[in-house]
Structure formats: C-alpha cells, structure tokens
Amino acid sequence: MYKISSKPIFKVLLLVVMDVLILVAVDGIALIARFEFSINAIQHQYIDASLQALLPRAAITLIIFFATHMYHYMWRNVSIRDVGWMILSVLFAYSVNFAVCALLKIDVMPRSIYFIRLFLHLFFFVGMRCSLRFANMIRNEFTPGKAQERIMLIGAGDAGRMLIKEIASSHKIPGSIVCVIDDNEAKWGKYIDGIRIIGGREEIISAAKDYRITQIIYCIPSASPEEKQAVLNICKETGCRLRNVPGIFQLVNGEVSVDAIRDVQVEDLLGREQVKLNLEALNAFISGKIVLVTGGGGSIGSELCRQIARYSPRTLVILDIYENNAYEIQQELRRNYGASLDLRVEIASVRDREKLRELFDFYRPDLVFHAAAHKHVPLMENCPSEAIKNNIFGTYNAVCAAEEFGVRRFVMISTDKAVNPTNVMGATKRFCEMILQSRQDSKTEFCSVRFGNVLGSNGSVVPLFKKQIAEGGPVTITDKRIIRYFMTIPEAAQLVLEAGEMAGRGQIFVLDMGEPVKILTLAENLIRLSGKTPYKDIAITEIGLRPGEKLYEEMLMSSETLSATANKKIFIEQQRPIPRETIAEEIAAFSKEIEDGAASEKLIALLHEFVPTFRTPEEVNSAARLKAKIEA
C-alpha cells in the first residue's frame, strides 16, 4: 500500500474541508432524491434533523478517517487493495454514525435516505481519492503518443506488482500495461490492479497480436539465465521492443522501478549460468595488496579494476597509454569509492621498458594483471610490426620488470585466437603465452587466462551491429556460416580474478565459453531486439572473411591436456616449459628485424618459425569447409 508518512498540514486541512462538504452535499442530494427531486416537497423536520446531526456525524467521520489513514493515500498510485481499505473505512464510519444517531435519537429519516446516503458516501469519498489514478489511466489510453505504447508484462510476482504501480503513476514510460503473462496456472484469469493475467509463455506471440503490443517488459528477477533465455527467445519473435528489470538483489533492495528498466541486451539471450565466485579466496588474494593493471582503461582492463576495487586492495594502479579511457575509469572509481580506495593512474606504454621498470620500482606491486595489447585482427594483419612491439615486446618488458621487482603473481589476458592461430594478432598472443611458459623457474608466479569474444568490448561485433542498425542498415557479416564463442565483460573479468587466485607457475587457464553462437543469428537477434524485422526492415549483407579470420573458431575445451579446477568454468591446459634462452633469442631476432626495417612478410615468416601452431587462414578455412561438406 502506498502511503505518505507525513503531509503538509494545509493539504490535510483541505481534504478535511472537502470531506465535510461531501457530507453536507450528500445529505442534500439524498433528501432531494428521496422526494422526487422536488425541493418544495421536502419536509422541514428532515432538514432540521440533518442539520442537527451534521456536527456529530462529521466529527465521527473525520476521527475514523484519520484512524484508518484515509488522509495518507497517494491518489496517483491507489491500488485495488487500497480501494478495498477505503470502502471498509467508509462503511465503518457510516455504521458508527448510524449507531450513535440511533442511540441519541437524532437524524431520524425515512429508511430509503440511509441507503441513498451510503451509496453516495462510497461514491464520493472513495471516488475522489481514486480520481487521479483514473485520470492517469484515461490519459495513458487516449493521449497521442501515450496510446502508441501498449505493454505486455512477463511475470506476475512481487516485482511485477511493484512495476505495475510504478508505470501507472509515472510519466517516464509513454504507455500502459494491457496484459500480464505468467507460467503459474493458478494465476491465470486473475487481475493485478485491473490488468488480467492471460496465460503462460505459449500465449506471448498470439497475445502480442491480439492486444497490439508494442513493448514487452520481462519482470522475473529471480529467474535462472536458462529460463530467462527461453522466454526472451519467444518474445523476440513478436517484433516488439524488449525490456528488462534488474536482478533479484536489486529487488530485495527495493530498486525495482521505472528508472531501473533497461532494454534487453543480446547477452540476455545467451542463457549463460551466473558465475559463482569464491569470494573468501578472492578477498584473501586481493585485500591489502598493491595491484597493477596494464591496459586498465580498456574493456577488460577497466572491468578488472572495478572488480578488484570491491576487494579493498591496498593500492590500485591503472596503467594505460590512452589517457581518455584511463580518465573515465579513474572518475568512475573515485565516484564510487572516494577516499576509501587508494587509486593511482599512470599514463605510459608497456613498450617503454625503462618507464615500466621505474613504475614497478616505485609501486612494488604484489599482483599484476596484464591486459594491455593490440587485439584487432584485420589491423594487425596490416601492421605486424606494431603487433609485435606492443603485444610481444610489451609483455616481455612487463614480465622482466615483474621478476626484477618481486611481483608475487602475474596474470596475462590471452585469447582464443592464440589456439592454432591463423592471424598475426593470435600468433603474437600465443608467443606471449610462450614467454610466460619460459618463466616456470621464476619466484614470480606467471599464468595466462585464455577466453573468446567479449560482448560489448571496444571494437567487438555487437557495437558495430548496433551502430549499423541505428543507421538503418545494412548489417554486414563476413560469412553466414561463421561461429564464435561469447561471454560478457563482467563474467570474463570475474573468471580472470578467480583463475589468478588459483594460478601456478606457467599455467594457461582456459575459460568455458559455453555454446558457440552463429554471427548471423547474433545479427538477427540484435535487429529483433531493436523492434525491427530482419531482412524486411534491416538488411543483412555478407561481405566475405577479413584477412586472417577463421571461418569456425576452434573450441577451447577440446584439448585432451585440460584438467579441471574447483570452478567448473575454469580449466588448466598443461604446457611444456620453454627455455628462457630460446625466448630471449627470438625476442632479439624480432628486435633486429624491426630495427632494420624488415618488411611485413619477413616478420610474419618469423612468427611462423617461432610459433609452431601458426597456420594460414586459407589452410584452416579450407579444411573447415571440407569437413562441413562431409558432415552435410
């Protein structure tokens, strides 16, 4: 029930005056109605009796109304339950008035007048308090622009009830809820604040047509990701705009409101199980430590900083060459943590070996998360020297500084493209893994964490698709057969921290990316989530594979050398040690060729020589196409 704890006294006095005027008006209307709407026919004794009883009746009514909180309702938000309490309050006041007047033998009237008064009391006292709610409903239905949004609500639980009240009283969503869907059969045919629960998920598509739905709000915060995915996959077939409410923890905190509603994102359709972290172990791993994050302004790096900040590090150092990104995460963390977080930001490149040594010497970090890297596949195909300088030399510089200045644990962010790489970026990241494998005898514990595509990261396919959809299309995909593995940015960062906590020397941790997703399906879903129809409203165009791109991304979990960890989403791929001398010689060879201005072809040839699993994309894609034909 929506109540106000206190109201300005003048508003309460105004309501009291209105209630007294209603009492007077009702008495007059009842007398006129009883005597066939002829004022001259009303006997004076009834007028005198009504005036004589007015003062005690008004006093009793006001006392009871105060006691039953009739002056504490928010008129814009009254619910069916509130109306029920109002009716009971009016009936109680009327009964007490009738009993008192009967005992005092005042207000003696024809019996029909008592019934007319009762009806009019209910109509005016309750109707007045519901007037604003009725006005909102009428405005939502008939005002131009408002009527365009007809909303279907998925979920008739507590969160759904709260949201119905919020939307009815808010001007932030231009429309009204016209029907509710819930899989609980016991609720079918019932009403929430006058809105009917019409059935389960099997009714979604037909109801969207019958009720002319333009927007669907999914409002089951406690649902599992798999359950949510199943329902949203039905909803996206309607062509309606899909929106979502927060998770269950926000419901508990009372944060389910119109402001919290957001559009359904493509990650909501993945149905991935929520990451379960060992919070106690992570707290012991990070709390009180000096933590340095290279590339801390990037997509993964910034999310790592957010996650690390939660575990009370002694100092968090963000290192990035791009000042704008570093500034944004710095301001965000300062807003959220203030002086409770010792936050430092350093603008520097991992290519600058002496600057890195200076920073490592000054801060003496306990933990390093190395996220700085060039990652765009087509760009690195054209600029192999930059990929080598930033990815390979940058990692080597950070590794050497970590050893020299006593870093306890060093965690490098790797990629699925390092698995049998077919491009320069993947080959350089595989070489970075090899650098860490050469440090298994080090006092510093070095490990890599390897995962696939991250939804929404800078330069990823999802922001590109969204931009193309906003511009009216077409959405461009490289090949309709291409598949990729995806996870969300927070999920990736959380699993990196967990892997870092359990890491041993030279290990490569592989994250379970779940089921593969066809890029074509991803594009179609994004178009539907925008409220448009693929191929009708937005075209999808195939433009061909980019340089260095695989047709089918290889599964990270297929290796027979993987072993399980305590976290079922994290596996360890066993790697053979590599001599330090071998890596040092290969680094020197790269450095000499770059200093001598070697052509890109020469640098790529060196990558093929030093990374035995580096193959050409033509070789891999041809084999994939042949395999697909055989299976077909």
**Greatest pairwise CA separation for the chain in angstroms:** 118
> Which entry of 375, 417, 466, 569 is annotated as an active-site residue?
417
Q: Is 483 helix (H, G, I), strand (E, B) or coil?
A: strand
Residue in 519, 454, 455, 452 with CA at minimum distance from that of residue 482? 519
User: In a 10 Å sphere around its CB, with 0-12 CB exposed, 13-18 middle and 19+ buried, how is residue 225 labelled?
Assistant: middle
**SS3 label, residue 341:** coil
The residues facing 195 across adjacent strands are 192
CA angle, 470 as apex, 522 and 231 as ends, to 5°? 40
Give the up-direction half-sphere exposure of residue 29: CA atoms within 13 A in the CB hemisphere: 15
Q: Report which of 117, 128, 106, 122 is spatially closest to residue 50, judged by C-alpha positions.
A: 106
DSSP conformation letters of 280-308: HHHHHHHTT-EEEEETTTSHHHHHHHHHH
Q: How many CA atoms lie within 13 Å of 50's alpha carbon, on the beta-carbon side?
A: 21
572 forms bridges with which residues in the sheet? 509, 563
CA 222, CA 523: separation in Å to the nearest integer? Answer: 28
Let me know: does 206 contact 218? Beta carbons within 8 Å.
Answer: no
Nearest to 454 by CA among 490, 494, 486: 486
Q: What is the CB neighbour count within 10 angstroms for residue 22?
A: 18
Environment class of 537 (CB within 10 Å of its CB; exposed 0-12, middle 13-18, buried 19+): middle
289 tagged catalytic: no
| 195, 160 Cβ separation under 8 angstroms | no
Closest CA to 393 of 96, 116, 594: 594
Q: 292 near 319, Cβ under 8 Å?
A: yes
Known catalytic residues are 417
